[in-house]
Amino acid sequence: METPKKYQMTINLNVLNHLGINLYSNIPAVLSEVVANSWDADATNVDIEIGTERITITDNGHGMTLGDINGKYLEVGYERRTHEAVKTEKYDREVMGRKGIGKLSLFSIAKIVKVESMKDSSHNGFVMSTDEIEKHIKDKKQGPYEPAPMRDSEMELNQTGTRIVLTDLKRRVTISHPEYVKRRLARRFSIIGAENNFTVRVDGTPIGITDRDYFNKLQYLWHYGDESEKYVDLCNKSDNFEHEEKREGSIQYEHNTQDATYPVKGWIGTVTTPSVLTDKDVNENLNKIVVMVRGKLAQEDILEDIREAGFYNKYLIGEIHADFLDENDLLDITTSNRQEIMRHDPRYIALRNWIKSELSHIRVTWDDLRTLQINEEAQQIPAIKEWLHELPPSKRGQAKEVIDKIAGLDIDEPKDRIVIYKHTALAFENLLYKKSLDQLDKISTETLPTFLEILGNFDDFEATFYYQIIQERLRIISKLYEAVEDNAVERTIQEILYDHLWLLDPSWDRATETTYMEQTVQKEFEEIEAKELLTDPELNGRYDIKYKMTAGKHVIIELKRANRTLDQYDLLRQVEKYGEALRKLIRAAGKNEPVEIVCLVGKDLTQWNDAEQRERSKKTMEQQNVRVILYNELIEDAYRTYNAFLQLRHEHGRVYRLIKNLEIEVPEVD
């Protein structure tokens, strides 16, 4: 009888929870493991079919016998590179698989996994179920888990290769679109395509390098390796592309106590604007530099480990190939999920330092290229170009320098840059005119023409400021108009009107009352209501009431609900209570300043049956310093008043034209 060993280690099937079921976070990562296995199996075709209830992956690789299935595929942790050749037999491919746990990833997206394979006329198939595996674990059964064999009638494979069917899909899988899977897979492999005799199709459509949707976004490109010209060719098909530079791609690294030089391939690029690096279609941020090893994604983003400072950092995207990270005679440095590299490993540190050095070079080049490009673009904007041309020659050079400096600022959006140009030009002109003031004390008969020119410039400058003010007021009026169309009149009026009294009267630019006076008046108004001097219908018909002081006049503004029809005399009786309370406070302060009451209503008063009665009613109320304005009238009158300035102004100076043209400038955004 054999004596039991003193020490024993057992591996529980619960390891599946850590290495498979809960390890992988997204569908493309899972399918990548299957595609990698197909590559290692010397497949030339892989077909992925995405359905609402199942996913099928079929390849034409070398397939598996029953011995291969049990001795390799179903052996968790089987290290192919230890037991077999490190290159494939038929196509001499560098093998991707290493840990022997990739097949467990299937359980993170499906509860039932069917595997069917054919090799040397041997046709085998089996079914794995997470429910059965978990039951096996829960019951603490001894021995290995035994997947159920597939019946001959269930097997559909009719050629050498392997077919995997995933069913009982988890919810996040069933909502995945084939285009999402296609694009994400394209970004996870560089070996897919005819040049490597490896075709991967999703729902019958082949994946190609352009499916990564990278190269049409690039403006500047730095590329590495003898075959990197292909990236330049891809970028040349885009109108955005402007610059490329080939760089030496090599890393010095100590291997087996000797210094060795390893090649680095791939590319790093920058885009025209950071917004294009947000791929909303597949919910992915492309502002990263991925690391590829043996044609498969090994690190999602090495850029986050570099923490390279600089505004240009937001414009970066790249794909670096570093096969030396996976040398066969060195330890495996990839994490369990095969999507990251162990950061403390010297090989990874060497790669990170090399990329950091390259980014330092890229930053300097990017700054120079970007500044030159934006400077040229700024001076080609029609409004800026015309303004520079009309400046006195002695000032034109200074203006160009100012525009160049603004062009070099870290501003992402072209429309924001236009706003900066506008205010910069105004500031430049303001300083220019202030210096002209110094010449006024030198006016004489001989210098009279110069004096008149200076005055003309000031008129232009003043007109420019009026233009900007009116443009802003028209924008607010348009907002009110839209609110009327959306039946949101009362709420919007309340939010905007009290801060923009010029809507009621152009001379009421801003409120000037003290906080004390406003609080006192509001308290007096509340007491009126507390004494129940107003009936419930009267209070319910009112939306809000406010006090303001502007242009030496005390104003009560009462908003009536837009759906109420009011009587003239009832309205006068209501508002007069507030008017008298306000006059009492003014007299108590020893002042004799006028009071005006403005009522905003949504419908004609009951007395406004025709134009004549309407006019008579308004005159009656005006005698008591009460104005009634319809919401629609308010908007129409305000728009008409401020738009008249823009329509009637025919003669404009250079500053006015600059601002007006920049207002309508629509910069092109790729």
| Per-residue model confidence as pLDDT tens digits over 285-309 | 999 999 999 999 988 889 988 876 5
Residue 169 C-alpha from the chain's centroid: 31
pLDDT band at 646 (very low <50, low <70, confident <90, very high): low
pLDDT of residue 561 exceeding 70? yes
**What pLDDT, on the 0 to 100 scale, is given for residue 451?**
43
Helix (H, G, I), strand (E, B) or coil at 77: coil
Decide which of 598 and 329 is more confident: 598
Residue 356 burial by Cβ neighbours in a 10 Å radius (0-12, 13-18, 19+): middle
**What pLDDT, on the 0 to 100 scale, is given for residue 187?**
94
For residues 412 and 273, give the distance between their C-alpha atoms in angstroms, rounded to a whole number.
6
Q: Where are the alpha helices (DSSP H) in 531-604?
A: 536-541, 568-588
Mean pLDDT calculated for residue range 16-41: 78
Tokens of 73: 């595929």
Residue 645 burial by Cβ neighbours in a 10 Å radius (0-12, 13-18, 19+): middle
Which one of 3-17, 478-492, 587-601 scores highest in mean pLDDT? 587-601
CB 601 within 8 A of CB 628: yes
**What pLDDT, on the 0 to 100 scale, is given for residue 656?**
55
CA distances 384 to 368, 405, 431, 597, Å, are: 22, 14, 18, 47
pLDDT band at 173 (very low <50, low <70, confident <90, very high): low
**What pLDDT, on the 0 to 100 scale, is given for residue 205?**
95
Decide which of 392 and 618 is more confident: 618
For residues 560 and 600, give the distance between their C-alpha atoms in angstroms, rounded to a whole number.
6
**What pLDDT, on the 0 to 100 scale, is given for residue 385?**
78
pLDDT of residue 528 exceeding 80? no
**What pLDDT, on the 0 to 100 scale, is given for residue 268?**
97
Q: Which residue from 199, 191, 222 is spatially nearest to 94, judged by alpha carbons?
A: 191
Q: Which residues contact 431 (CB under 8 A, 6 or more apart)?
A: none
For residues 34 and 120, give the distance between their C-alpha atoms in angstroms, rounded to a whole number.
22
Own/partner pairs for 573-579, CB < 8 Å, 24+ apart? 574/534, 574/538, 574/542, 575/599, 575/626, 576/624, 577/528, 577/533, 577/534, 578/525, 578/528, 578/545, 579/624, 579/625, 579/626
Mean pLDDT calculated for residue range 482-505: 70
pLDDT of residue 4 exceeding 80? no
**What pLDDT, on the 0 to 100 scale, is given for residue 176?**
64
Decide which of 594 and 490 is more confident: 594
pLDDT of residue 283 exceeding 70? yes
**What pLDDT, on the 0 to 100 scale, is given for residue 12?**
62
CB 161 within 8 A of CB 59: yes
Place of tokens 């039946």: 487
**What pLDDT, on the 0 to 100 scale, is given for residue 651?**
47
Helix (H, G, I), strand (E, B) or coil at 223: strand
Percent of the chain at pLDDT > 90 equals: 27
**What pLDDT, on the 0 to 100 scale, is given for residue 440?**
46
Decide which of 592 and 407 is more confident: 592
Decide which of 437 and 188 is more confident: 188
One-letter amino acid at 46 equals V
pLDDT of residue 439 exceeding 60? no
For residues 617 and 614, give the distance between their C-alpha atoms in angstroms, rounded to a whole number.
5
One-letter amino acid at 361 equals H
For residues 552 and 507, give the distance between their C-alpha atoms in angstroms, rounded to a whole number.
11
One-letter amino acid at 402 equals V
Lowest-confidence segment of 91-95, 114-118, 173-177 by average pLDDT = 173-177
pLDDT of residue 316 exceeding 90? yes
Which one of 102-111, 136-145, 245-254, 642-651 scores highest in mean pLDDT? 245-254
> Which phi and psi angles does 424 have, rounded to 5°?
-65, -45
| Sheet containing strand 542-550, strands side by side | 542-550, 553-560, 595-601, 626-630
Mean pLDDT computed over every residue of the chain:
79
Which one of 380-394, 505-519, 554-568 scores highest in mean pLDDT? 554-568
pLDDT in tens, 631-641: 888 878 877 77
CB 126 within 8 A of CB 106: no
**What pLDDT, on the 0 to 100 scale, is given for residue 545?**
82
Lowest-confidence segment of 231-245, 346-360, 377-391, 416-430 by average pLDDT = 416-430
pLDDT in tens, 122-158: 899 999 988 888 887 777 776 778 889 999 888 999 9
Domain 213-363 belongs to what topology?
Answer: Ribosomal Protein S5; domain 2 (3.30.230)
Residue 647 burial by Cβ neighbours in a 10 Å radius (0-12, 13-18, 19+): exposed
Q: Where are the alpha helices (DSSP H) in 158-203?
A: 171-174, 178-188
Strands 278-279 and 284-285: antiparallel
Decide which of 628 and 460 is more confident: 628
Q: Which residue from 203, 181, 174, 208 is spatially nearest to 283, judged by alpha carbons?
A: 181
pLDDT of residue 505 exceeding 60? yes
- The total number of residues shown for the chain amounts to 670
Q: Which residue from 646, 668, 665 is spatially nearest to 421, judged by alpha carbons?
A: 665
**What pLDDT, on the 0 to 100 scale, is given for residue 458?**
47
Instruction: Kindly write down the DSSP assignment for every residue of 528-542, as one continuous string.
Output: HHHTT-S-HHHHHHE
* CATH architecture, domain 15-177: 2-Layer Sandwich (3.30)
Instruction: Kindly write down the DSSP assignment for every residue of 628-670, as one continuous string.
Output: EEEHHHHHHHHHHHHHHHHHH-----HHHHHHHHHHH------
Which one of 165-174, 549-558, 644-653 scores highest in mean pLDDT? 549-558
Tokens of 369: 């290229």
CB 512 within 8 A of CB 550: yes
